Amino acid sequence: MKRAPTHSYPGINLGERHASADKAAEVVTFGFWVFLMSDLVYFGLMFAIYITMIDAQAGGPGPHELFDLKSIFAQTLILLTSSLTVGLAMLALKYNLPRGRIVLWFGVTLVLGISFLVLEVRDFMAMAEKGGIPQRSGFLSAFFGLVPLHGLHVAAGCLWLIVLGIQLRVKGMTDVVISRVVRLALFWHFLDLIWIGIITIVYFGGLTYG
């Protein structure tokens, strides 16, 4: 099946002289989609486990004592904004915008990603002070099996961002690097989707049913 020449993925259709690179990028991007779906099952099951363990608090602290919605709100806004900026970084690369713009959006995304992680770790530390450690109950085990898993993904995304930044500098804007940035953006958007699930099910769901 031949793809229509309009943008099929953000960033593919690199231009006419890149026809073979387009084909390669299409295969890799589709493969990455399949990987994301596999990863989605990991998260989906952790959500299911969390739901089944929401009551297993074993007398330990529960959602009402532990969750800090203000911090969650801030994290949500930061992650959402980083999802926009990573998209803009990719567009800047794809459309050959001046170097400064590329660096700017890459930098902003990285700073937002790291701030998200800092806030998240602060939350965990605050929870630990109130006795909310994973060793305390099944509910807390499920919480710490899921939310830090997402955090770990964000951290991996940050590392990936740094590596791609270096590759852009060393190798220049080759087709391979651009196609990697496309996948990083997909990954980042995917993590934002998971985060929507986390605020809806883990935090609001926890507060409602916990």
Site for other proteins in 166-185 (CB under 8 A): 167, 170-171, 174, 176, 180
What SS3 class is residue 108? helix
Site for other proteins in 116-135 (CB under 8 A): 134-135
Residue 99 in the binding site for other proteins (CB under 8 A)? no
| Distance separating alpha carbons of residues 202 and 166, to the nearest angstrom | 36
Residue 91 in the binding site for other proteins (CB under 8 A)? yes
- Minimum CB distance to other proteins, residue 126 (Å): 19
Q: Which is nearer to other proteins, 107 or 197 (CB)?
A: 197
Q: Which is nearer to other proteins, 34 or 129 (CB)?
A: 34
Residue 71 in the binding site for other proteins (CB under 8 A)? no
Among 18, 21, 35, 155, binds other proteins (CB under 8 A): 35
Torsion of CA 207, 118, 126, 144, to 10 degrees: 60
| Distance separating alpha carbons of residues 12 and 5, to the nearest angstrom | 10
114: buried, middle or exposed (CB in 10 Å: 19+, 13-18, 0-12)?
Answer: middle
Residue 19 in the binding site for other proteins (CB under 8 A)? no
Choose among 181, 150, 186, 147: nearest CA to 166: 181
